[in-house]
Amino acid sequence: MPRQKYIRIFLALCILFALVSIPFVYLISQQFSSYALKQIDKVNRIEVEHAQENSRFVFRKMIAYGLNMYQDKSIQLWLTDKTETPEHQVDAMKAAANFRTTEPFIEEIYLFNMRTEHALDLKFGLSSFARFPDQAALDIVMQPRRSYLNFISYERDGQRKLALVIPTVPSGQQSFGYLVMVMETGLIRQYLLKDDRQSGMRSFILDSEGQVVLGANGAEDLYAELAQRSADEAGSFTHRYEGELWSVQYARIDPQGWTLYITAKVEQIRSDFDSFRNKMLLFAVLFVVLMLGVLFWNSRRTYKPFSQLAEQLETKLGSRLNGETGEGPREEYNVLRSGIEILADQVDKLDSSMREHKSVIKAEYLRQWIVQGKLIAPVESYLREHTALLNGDSLHVGVLRINEYSLFEERYNFASRKLIKYAIGNISEEIVDRYWSVEAVDLGGDHLVVLLSGSDIPMDKLVEAMEEVGRQVVRWTRIGLTIAVSGPNAYGDDLKAIYGHIRELTMLKFISGEDKVYLEQDFEAFMARVQPLPDDHLLDELIKRIRMGKAEEVEESLDRIFGPMQTMRYADSKFQISLILYTLFKTFNKLPSVESVERIESILDRFDTLAGIKGWLSQELREIMGDLSNKKGASRRDEIVKEIVEYVGTHLHDPMLTIDEISEHVSLSTRYIRQLFKEVWDTTLSDYIMERRIDRVKELLETTDWTVTDIGERSGFQTKSNFFTTFKKATGMTPSQYRDNRPQRPS
């Protein structure tokens, strides 16, 4: 073994790579060959089934077409004439010509009048039986077969033809007249059969005696052998013919009694696979040689400098490396390990020093304040020392939300998004800092938070400053913002709740469509202005039909809901659709394509027409109905429902109460408890929870002086907007209006 470490590593990698790669490539090629053979058989089976169905369709279609032709009055009149009538002849020729021109699979149409012993041919016209050019077809008519409405194969001018005789009567009986359709065998063969000489694939149709009905002649002995082996309705086998192995797939064509075959040469397929395997092995060998060269170069380039690095570390850190033991020079591995540990310790110290940077700490403390809601003493002390934000009389909270954030995420990577948001924060700080103290904080996601403070800040001037922020951000970054700002707050107020409420305010733009700076009073004004849907009973009816799983009635309800929207303005129709989707989302706790309520706007922006939205919503509702159509549960349902009701009553205040949590409590699936509760209470579990929460809100509004926001939180509503929307839909009034009109309780 060589003494150089990098050469030893290279030899070990060579052996490992050769032992792993070449057998792996060989195994993969073998598995691929086996899989490909199975896939070819599977494709051939599918091809046979497809051709079988096409054959049945074509032959049944032609039989039906022939019967319609035979029943034509003009043709019937000529076929039953006792004497030749020119008018009847002309009408029959016209009718037959019309039928032939509309069906490409028909080559010729013959009409035979057995009384007058004349025949009509579209090509030669009227002729007697003795002068009729296709005597083989005339012989078929003169000798009726027993089989009913079967195609008959016969030979004309050295070519195999298919003909259908109508009517078909038993032997010994004759009709007054016959209609014979001669099929365009070339076109039928092109439509039904598939031949590929290059790949060795053939397809043909044989009758019950092994004679060719459709397909190439010249292999009658092969056809006879295949006919003997194909006794079942359908199947596959391998057959050796003239020293070659063939893969055969076949299927019966009813009611003709014919058999469709698809054959392929196995040796030719395997030779292709063997060629592929040899190429793979050759490529693997070349790849191994190339990789060995790369490994040699890489190992020499990578590992040889280790000794040089060890020497440099001993030169720079020699006293520190050997000072503890005094043993003199050490092995390269130990030198590298000790030297890296010393350098890593120095890097940790440098990193700790960098983390003490003022701006980093300040940004982190501001985030903690917003997320936790309250200032703790160390954070407050640091912020007072390093920012003027806490020197004012009051604190205002603003939220800058990036419009169309999903497109923003697709357009920029993570680093670019951070840089752009940093630029937006700098622009806002530069503009607002002219008048008041300000700090911009990036909490991640689609928005930034702006904290600003001062003394007696006029709201109109604050709004002007925030509007200027929006304009400058669009000018310099080409990114639109939706901005909301709070009124004055005390520094001890719950900043987390204020931030959450202001962030909700930015969502008003989706409903109202107004491009402005949103204030807290805009929310109350909006909720007072919002009216229930004009056809609210239609939405209730839609929800009821969804739960009952009536797909056709659901489509009818959608038509009645979307019909009036075609006469509305875009903003009004979008507003109505948003409320409908919001109601459906909350009723069924989901829409399959909508992850959250906030995603409704991005979903609607994908569609340009009401019809597109209606089609999408119809598909969503069908998926919901599929999920709801589960089977009924077993016994104990009354006890289970009682336990669910008790659990809901004790956890009604919890905004995180979900049906998943309830199902986990009773150890049953969510789908089962939804259905069980519906059967017992005749209402959904979600509606029941919402009704209980509305009742609790009413009780607290009538019996306490708590603020509306506190009552919503104590009743389990997650957001203020959800609380206002749900309560107004249930009562027709906002919470404040309900409290003002509450009934006077006796003292």
Q: What pLDDT digit, counting tens, does each position of 464-475 carry? A: 999 999 999 999
Tokens of 472: 């400058």
What integer pLDDT is reported at residue 278 of this predicted model?
Answer: 75
User: What gap in Å lies between CA 503 and CA 13, rounded to an integer?
Assistant: 58
The model's pLDDT over 478-527, given as tens digits with 9 standing for 90+, comes to 888 989 999 899 888 888 888 888 887 887 675 566 788 888 888 777 66
pLDDT band at 747 (very low <50, low <70, confident <90, very high): very low
Please give the Cα distance from 457 to 451 (Å, whole number): 13
Whole-number pLDDT of residue 333: 66
Q: Contact 206/212 with Cβ under 8 angstroms?
A: yes
The DSSP element (H or E) to which 152 belongs, if any, is strand 151-156
Helix (H) and strand (E) counts in the chain: 29, 16
- CA pseudo-torsion sign 672, 673, 675, 679: positive
pLDDT given for residue 49 in this prediction: 84
Count the Cβ atoms, other than its own, within 10 Å of residue 257. 12
164 DSSP β-pair partners? 151, 181
> Around 208, how many Cα atoms within 13 Å sit in the side-chain half-sphere?
8
pLDDT at position 412 is: 86
Give 575-620 as a DSSP string: HHHHHHHHHHHHHHT-BTTBSSGGGHHHHHTT-SSHHHHHHHHHHH
pLDDT single digits (tens) 375-388: 888 888 888 888 88
Listing DSSP states for 267-304 in one string gives: HHHHHHHHHHHHHHHHHHHHHHHHHHHHHHHHHHHHHT
DSSP H or E segment with residue 235? strand 234-241
Q: Residue 159 forms beta bridges with which residues?
A: 156
Separation between Cα atoms, residue 389 and residue 381, nearest integer Å: 12
Residue 624: band (very low, low, confident or very high) from pLDDT cuts 50, 70, 90 = confident
Q: What per-residue confidence (pLDDT) applies to 629? A: 64
For residues 605 and 246, the model is more confident at 246
Residue 746 has pLDDT above 60, yes or no: no
Q: What is the DSSP letter of 651?
A: S
* Confidence tier at 446 by pLDDT (50, 70, 90): confident
The CA distance from 683 to 645, in Å, is 13
The 10s digit of each residue's pLDDT in 317-334 is 766 665 544 444 456 667
Could you give the C-alpha distances from 563 to 543, 611, 618, in angstroms and in order?
A: 18, 10, 14
pLDDT at position 635 is 45
User: According to the 3-state scheme, what is the secondary structure of 161-220?
Assistant: EEEEEECCCCCCCCCCEEEEEEECHHHHHHHHCCCECCCCEEEEEECCCCCEEECCCCCH
For 164, 370, 376, 394, 496, the CA distances from 492, given in Å and listed in that order, are 97, 12, 10, 10, 11
- Kindly report, residue by residue over 54-79, the tens digit of the pLDDT: 888 888 888 899 899 988 999 989 98
* Residues 343-362 pLDDT 10s: 777 777 666 654 556 677 78
DSSP assigned state of 492: T
Alpha helices in 245-372 (DSSP H): 266-303, 305-322, 332-355, 358-372
Bridge partners of residue 517, in order along the sequence? 483
Which of these, 700, 704, 694, 746, lies nearest to 725 by C-alpha position?
694
Residue 267 has pLDDT above 80, yes or no: no
- Average confidence (pLDDT) over 116-123: 89
First-to-last C-alpha distance (Å) of the chain: 103
The pLDDT of residue 342 = 81
pLDDT for position 631: 36
pLDDT for the residue numbered 111: 92
**For residue 569, pLDDT beyond 70:** no
Burial (CB count <10 Å: 0-12, 13-18, 19+), residue 364: middle
Question: What SS3 class is residue 447?
Answer: strand
Residue 74 contacts residue 95 (beta carbons within 8 Å): yes
For range 232-253, the mean pLDDT: 82
154, 142 Cβ separation under 8 angstroms = no
The residue with tokens 């096409």 is: 54
Give the total residue count for the chain.
747
Cβ-contact 112, 174 below 8 angstroms: no
User: Which of 23, 2, 12, 22 has the alpha carbon at shortest distance from 296?
Assistant: 12
pLDDT given for residue 109 in this prediction: 92
Q: Among residues 449, 446, 426, 429, which one has the least CA distance to residue 437?
A: 429
C-alpha span between 526 and 505 (Å, rounded): 11
DSSP state of 489: B
Closest CA to 431 of 476, 401, 390, 393: 476
Phi/psi for 356 (5° steps) reads: -85, 5
What is the three-state SS of 386-411?
HCCHHHCCEEEEEEEEECCHHHHHHH
Least confidently predicted of 366-380, 383-397, 583-597: 583-597
Confidence band for 4, pLDDT divided at 50, 70 and 90:
low
List the one residue out of 719, 690, 693, 729 whose CA is nearest residue 701. Answer: 693
Q: Give the contacts of 454 (CB within 8 A, at least 6 positions apart).
A: 392, 393, 394, 435, 436, 437
Q: Which residues contact 719 (CB under 8 A, 6 or more apart)?
A: 500, 504
Using DSSP bridges, classify how beta strands 447-454 and 394-402 pair: parallel, antiparallel or unpaired.
antiparallel
Is it the case that residue 175 has pLDDT exceeding 80? no
Q: Yes or no: say if 150 and 213 are a contact pair by the CB < 8 Å rule.
A: no
CA torsion 402-406-407-410 (nearest 10°) is 120
The identity of residue 23, as a single letter, is: P
pTM of the model: 0.38
106 or 287: which leads in pLDDT:
106
Q: What is the DSSP secondary structure assignment for residue 574, as one 8-state letter?
A: H
Share of the chain above pLDDT 70, in %: 83
